[in-house]
Amino acid sequence: ALQADPEVQRGAQRLAAEWSRRVEKDGLQLEQAPRSIKADRDVVLAAVCQNGRALQFASSDLRADFEVVLAAVQVTGRALRYAAEHLQADFDVVIAAVMENGHALDFAGDFARDNRDIILAAVRQNGTVLMAASDELKRDREIVLAAIQQETAAQVHVARALAMGGPGVQSDRE
């Protein structure tokens, strides 16, 4: 009866709209939201699109929602840690997560260590993730070369930043 009350519905819609505006600016504001908002799919999607870590504050149902979790890990790969277990073992979710942050592999199901496509995507994002691969994949030529190439590129960027003395980069002689 309360759900059908037009005044209650308008109030709920206003509350959802207010929270949508808040989380679009700062997804982590979801932590402060009432339980009903943490279960509102549209508000949670807005929050995780702004900051994937907002997934931790979503209702358990939404942490098990493929689309919500996929949106979160595409923004913040390590948000995989907050996903329902079955999604931590989902190929599409895991590969999206490791493409954003190779270390998201830490939160993936055990299958991921043995999955060539996932490991290749992960090392292309962060070469040090090679350590987490299965022994067989650690010997895979393409994976090893991708890891080396990614780490070499990172070293070049670091060397350039040090040479330029960019903001926040200080010589140890100062």
127 neighbors 109 (Cβ within 8 angstroms): no
Cα separation, 55 vs 32, whole angstroms: 13
Give the pLDDT confidence score for residue 172 in this predicted structure: 46
pLDDT class of 171 with cuts at 50, 70, 90: very low
pLDDT in tens, 124-164: 999 999 999 999 999 999 999 999 998 886 676 667 766 77
Amino acid 18 reads: E
* pLDDT value at 17 more than 80: yes
pLDDT class of 12 with cuts at 50, 70, 90: confident
pLDDT in tens, 45-100: 999 999 999 999 999 999 999 999 999 999 999 999 999 999 999 999 999 999 99
Give the pLDDT confidence score for residue 7 in this predicted structure: 79
25 neighbors 46 (Cβ within 8 angstroms): no
Give how far Cα 142 sits from Cα of 50, 73, 137, Å: 34, 25, 9
Give the global pTM: 0.82
What is the CB neighbour count within 10 angstroms for residue 173?
4
Cα separation, 1 vs 7, whole angstroms: 12
73 neighbors 93 (Cβ within 8 angstroms): yes
Give the pLDDT confidence score for residue 18 in this predicted structure: 94
Give the pLDDT confidence score for residue 166 in this predicted structure: 55
Residue 57: CB partners within 8 Å, gap ≥ 6? 28, 30, 31, 33, 38, 47
Give the 3-state secondary structure of residue 79.
helix
Give the 3-state secondary structure of residue 95.
helix
Cα separation, 98 vs 85, whole angstroms: 16
* pLDDT value at 42 more than 90: yes
Give the pLDDT confidence score for residue 168 in this predicted structure: 55
Cα separation, 169 vs 12, whole angstroms: 49
For residue 125, what are its two tokens?
Answer: 């994002």
Give the pLDDT confidence score for residue 10 in this predicted structure: 87
Cα separation, 131 vs 156, whole angstroms: 21
